Every structure is written in structure tokens, then in C-alpha cells.
Amino acid sequence: MRIEDYALIGDMQSAALVGRDGSIDWLCLPRFDSPSCFAKLLGDESNGFWRLAPTGHEMATRREYVKDTLILETYWETPTGTVKVVDFMPPRHANPDLVRIVEGVSGTVEMTAEIRIRFDYGRIIPWVRRFDGHLHAIGGPDSVWIHSSAHLKGGGYRHTGTFTVSAGERQTFVFTWHPSHEPEPEVVDPDEQLDETRLIWEEWVSHCEYDGPWRDAVVRSLITLKALTFSPTGGIVAAPTTSLPEHLGGVRNWDYRYCWLRDAAMTLDALTDSGYIEEAGSWRDWLLRAIAGRPEDLQIMYGVAGERRLPEMTLDWLRGYEDSRPVRIGNGAATQFQLDVYGEVVNCLYQARKKGLPPDDHAWSIVRRLMDFLEHNWNQPDEGLWEVRGPRRHFVHSKVMAWVAADRVVRVVEELGRTGPVERWRAMRDRIHAEVCDKGFDPVRGTFTQSYGSRELDAALLLIPIVGFLPPEDPRVVGTIEAIERELKVDGFVLRYPVSESNDVDGLPGAEGAFLACSFWLAEALTLIGRKDEAMDLFERLLALTNDVGLLAEEYGVAEGRQLGNFPQAFTHIHLIRTAHALS
């Protein structure tokens, strides 16, 4: 199936991808970054999946989320009747549960269930026993119970069953994970959990303050961002998947199940803009724990509980999504030096305070330490926000975000009453601004460039007016936007930067799709310079790329006409929300 043929369910600690064919092909437990129980998404059926669908039928007729929730309903209309499968993960009480309910809508439909549990990313076939009609699977540290009202028969390292449902009838399945050394967990009631899950999501959405023309798309994006929050700690993952390719058959396959400071800070901006302040407080608490220590040891990403060691390795037994190898877990970019994260973090904390987050003396002391480090290192080359694996450069966007850090701490002093070496920070802000305008701007072409001395462009330059580095009406801003439209647009969508043999900026072979967040940046930048009708047209084209349940991946393959990259992608949904606010 295509990447966009999947839908997301989750419990704000982990998540599953459910295919349009009724198959759960990706699920990691107990956390987003844990080894998977089902890994067909990155391999084949032998790596684990769980399918519930009418016998002999493939793709569903339609599917949708129960309004303002993360409860998925999938419908099949067959010659003998119509059936619905309800999938959700209730907010966690003790152990993670996944609930599937089959309901007859009309007529009578024969259903087939097949489940293959494979722990450790599809490598471990568990030992499965039956207790009182229910299944218990154990493999090393992992244990799963499957409580089913339908009989499942074992054979060939899988369990299958057929049953019929008529109008008004239902069959229920509850899949519960727990550590294998612990006793059998308590069985949850599927109907009670369905009601509780619906009420929790509806109550959360009721606090949304966005009431513009794109409410459905914004609310679905907000729910997706909330679903990617690890509720015990407040950390926010970039995506629930690893190694979904940026180019089919290529090597640009990365693990996004971690907490990038940049992505999380932008997530909080989108949430607070929409009325959600509590999440900002939880993330600030996570941030202070994660980055505690020397400011020079700041990482660009951490584990969901603040872990720092995220060693990158490949899973050679998985063939990769559509043969896109290697499949990676961990992320070697965690140790990169990226200047822009300082600006993202400081800006996020400033914006959250302006929107009502209470002050925190400990947070301010850490910000001051970060600024001490940045004051002596902003002029160093870095790997940039795209985590290039080529040589370090003086990326213009990185310098602009260092300016943002200096600008925002000055504002904190001036507007919020904090104390600090504000004259030094003002001087630093002025030095960075002058250097970027001198070394990062090409006066012949009338555009800022990707890095000092480069002729290449970078879509991140679209953020210059958005973060306030220069006013939108500045000719240098207008010239940069127009240059990006000329050189980085493909069929109306925006690439991150040129990818070619002559441009070794990222040190990787192969191409990639149009980066969806960059296209949203262009729409927002066009709005700022007064080209709102064009911005609106682009925004509507981007909304048309969402799948049938409103989700977007990281990129869009123009040639293939399909979504690419990890899915659903927080970075994309963040900027959908931001652009909707800007256009509204």
C-alpha cells in the first residue's frame, strides 16, 4: 500500500498504523521508540501484522475518524452487506491496549482475522499458548494477550479465524502488551474504553480556539500533534515511524521516533497559537530535564524520556518499504551541531510566556546559560536544520535563528521583566544581523543563499520574514521568495534545496520529494508580502494532498503522485496549522 493508505491510532505513548485493507502493519510497544510487534510496513507478512476484513475483499470502501477523536472507523460494502471495523488505542491506564470492534451495519458479512505477532522489529517469533480461550504470546521481554470474542486458530506461526456479523452484531478484540515477567494484566472492557476514549478526545478538542475556514484540517492536525506527545514526560516525537523513504528505493531513510528540539518547539507554537498552554508547560518541564547539564552538551534531539544516546544501526533482515534500504533505528544526527535549535527553543519559551505560560526561574537560568554558549559559538559552521551529512557550513538559516535567540532574550528583558546582560545580547543580535546581510546575500541575484559564499538556495530562507529577521516588504525578502519560486518549485511544490551530483551539501546519493513544510512556508511568506490569493491557492493545493483521513507525510513525490517519508509527520502538520492561522 501507499504511505497515504494508512491511518493513525495512538494512546499518547505509542501509535499504530492501520491500512486501508484493515491491516495493522506498524506498532511499537510500550513506547514510540520501542521495538515493534508488527513490522510488515518495513518488511513483509512474515514480520508481523494483524488484519481484520471481509473474506476475499481488499481495500475498504471508506473510512473516517469519529469526529474530533482518534477513533478510526473503516467500512466495507460487500454484495452481502456492510460491515464496520472500529480501531483505537485507549489512553493508557496500566498497560497499552489496542481495541478492535467489528460491527455489522447491514446484511451479513463473513470476516477473516489473521494475526502474526513478531517482536523485535519482526525478528522474534513468540511462543503462543491458549488460556481460557484467549491467546498469550511471549518472546524475551515482551508479552501480549489477545482477548477475542471470535475463535482464532493457530498454525504456521500465525492465528486465523473466520466469523460472520449481521446487522447489529459485533465481535471484539483486545490486544494488551505487558512485560513478560509480570502477571497477566486486567482485561479492559472494549465498550467502556470506546466511550472513555471518545470523551477524552472531544473534551481536549473543545479547547481549540481556531475557528477559521479550515477548522477540520486544523483540528485533525492538532489531534495528530497531540497523539505524537509522550504523555508521561511531555516529550513530542517527530513521527511514529522509522525509515519510510524520502525517495522510493533510496537510502534517505531515517528514524523519526525521537524528540527534536526544533520540531517540538514548533509543535508547541502551533498548539499555543490554538489555545493549548498546558502542553507548553509539560514540554518545558521535559526540556529542562533533557538538556540539564553543560550548554555545550545540548543535543538536537533526545529520547522521549530525555535519553541522549540514540545510536544508529540498520536492521538487515527487513527489506524496507518498497525495497528502500537500509532500515534504520536510532539516529546518528543526534550528535550534530545545529545552531538553529537555540533560536527555536528560546523563541518557543518566549512565545509561550507571552501566551500565558507562568514564569519559571529555572527555565530562565538555563536560557541564560544557553545564550552564554551561543554568544561565543554563533559564528561557527554547523550541519544546519536539514541535518546534512556533508561538511559543515555557515548556513544562513542557522545564523538567522541565532539572531532569533538573541532577539527573543532581549524581548524577554524588555517585555517580561527578566534580568540579564541585555546590552551584550543587543550587540550580539546586531553583529549577527549585519554579518548575515553581508555574507549571506547575493546582490547580483537579489536573494539570500543557502550558506555564505554559496549560489544555492534553501527553502528555509522563507522563514526570514516569518521570524522577523527582516520586514516582508524588504526587497531582499521579496527577491529571495521570488528566487525560491523560480529555482526550488517543482509542479508548484517546494524542494528543501537542490539535490544533484554537483551539490554535495547533504553528502547522500539520490533525489527526494518536495518537502511539504517548505511549501507551507512559501504560502505563509506569500501572505506576508501581500500575495494572499496565490498563497490561498497553494494552501488549498497542499490540503488536497492530505489522505482520506486528513494526514500528511514528510514529503510529496511529484513524479510518483504520492506521499513520501515518515508518516504522519509533525513538522508538516505544524505548518499546516501555522499557515491556516496566517491566512485566517
Together in a domain, 142 and 211: no
Mean per-residue pLDDT for 111-127?
Answer: 98
Phi, psi of 142 (to 5 degrees): -100, 145
Instruction: Place 144 in a pLDDT band, splitting at 50, 70 and 90.
Output: very high
**Arithmetic mean of pLDDT over the chain:** 95
Instruction: Place 544 in a pLDDT band, splitting at 50, 70 and 90.
Output: very high
Which H/E stretch holds residue 532? Answer: helix 532-543
pLDDT exceeds 80 at position 501:
no
Phi, psi of 217 (to 5 degrees): -65, -40
Name the CA radius of gyration of the chain, rounded: 24
C-alpha dihedral sign at 335, 339, 342, 343: negative
- Indicate the SS3 state at residue 96: coil
- CATH number of the domain that 107 lies in? 2.70.98
pTM (2 decimals)? 0.96
pLDDT exceeds 60 at position 29:
yes
Mean per-residue pLDDT for 327-346?
Answer: 94
**pLDDT of res. 296:** 80
pLDDT tens for 411-431 read 999 999 999 999 999 999 999
pLDDT exceeds 70 at position 519:
yes
pLDDT tens for 199-258 read 999 999 999 999 999 999 999 999 999 999 999 999 999 999 999 999 999 999 999 999
Q: Which domain holds residue 404?
A: 207-583
- Indicate the SS3 state at residue 74: strand
pLDDT exceeds 90 at position 270:
yes
> Of 202, 228, 251, which residue is a domain's last?
202
Higher pLDDT, 509 or 537: 537
**pLDDT of res. 502:** 52
**pLDDT of res. 65:** 98
Together in a domain, 138 and 226: no
Distance CA 426, CA 53 (A): 63
- Indicate the SS3 state at residue 199: helix
Together in a domain, 195 and 211: no
Together in a domain, 308 and 269: yes
Distance CA 387, CA 294 (A): 22
**pLDDT of res. 498:** 87
Together in a domain, 35 and 152: yes
Together in a domain, 285 and 254: yes
Rounded-to-5 percentages of helix, strand, coil across the chain: 35, 25, 40
- Indicate the SS3 state at residue 232: coil
- Indicate the SS3 state at residue 196: helix
**CB-hemisphere CA count at 13 Å for 567?**
31
Number of domains forming the structure of the chain: 2
Helices (H), 306-421: 340-354, 361-377, 396-416
Together in a domain, 183 and 246: no
ω into 359 cis (within 30 of 0): no
**pLDDT of res. 298:** 87
Instruction: Place 183 in a pLDDT band, splitting at 50, 70 and 90.
Output: very high
Q: CB of 452 within 8 A of CB of 393?
A: yes
**pLDDT of res. 132:** 85
The residue among 525, 519, 411 whose CA lies nearest residue 466 is 525
**pLDDT of res. 504:** 59
Q: CB of 238 within 8 A of CB of 256?
A: yes
Instruction: Place 522 in a pLDDT band, splitting at 50, 70 and 90.
Output: very high
Q: For residue 323, how many other CB atoms are within 10 A of its CB? A: 10
> Of 186, 202, 218, which residue is a domain's last?
202
Mean per-residue pLDDT for 141-162?
Answer: 95
> Of 151, 186, 202, which residue is a domain's last?
202
- Indicate the SS3 state at residue 166: strand
Instruction: Place 135 in a pLDDT band, splitting at 50, 70 and 90.
Output: very high
Q: CB of 99 within 8 A of CB of 87?
A: yes
Distance CA 318, CA 51 (A): 20
Together in a domain, 36 and 158: yes
User: How large a percentage of the chain has pLDDT more than 90?
Assistant: 91
Together in a domain, 109 and 231: no
Query: DSSP string spanning 264-299?
Result: HHHHHHHHHHTT--HHHHHHHHHHHHHS-S-GGG--
- CATH number of the domain that 295 lies in? 1.50.10.10
- Indicate the SS3 state at residue 66: coil
Distance CA 559, CA 338 (A): 32
User: How large a percentage of the chain has pLDDT more than 70?
Assistant: 98
Grid cell listed for 469 = 529577521
448 Cα distance to chain centroid: 29
Together in a domain, 533 and 452: yes
Grid look-up 504511505 returns: 3
Higher pLDDT, 513 or 216: 216
**pLDDT of res. 505:** 66
Together in a domain, 213 and 196: no
- Indicate the SS3 state at residue 518: helix
Count helices and strands in the chain by DSSP H and E runs: 14, 28
Mean per-residue pLDDT for 519-544?
Answer: 98
Together in a domain, 56 and 176: yes
**pLDDT of res. 291:** 87
Any idea how long the chain is? Answer: 584
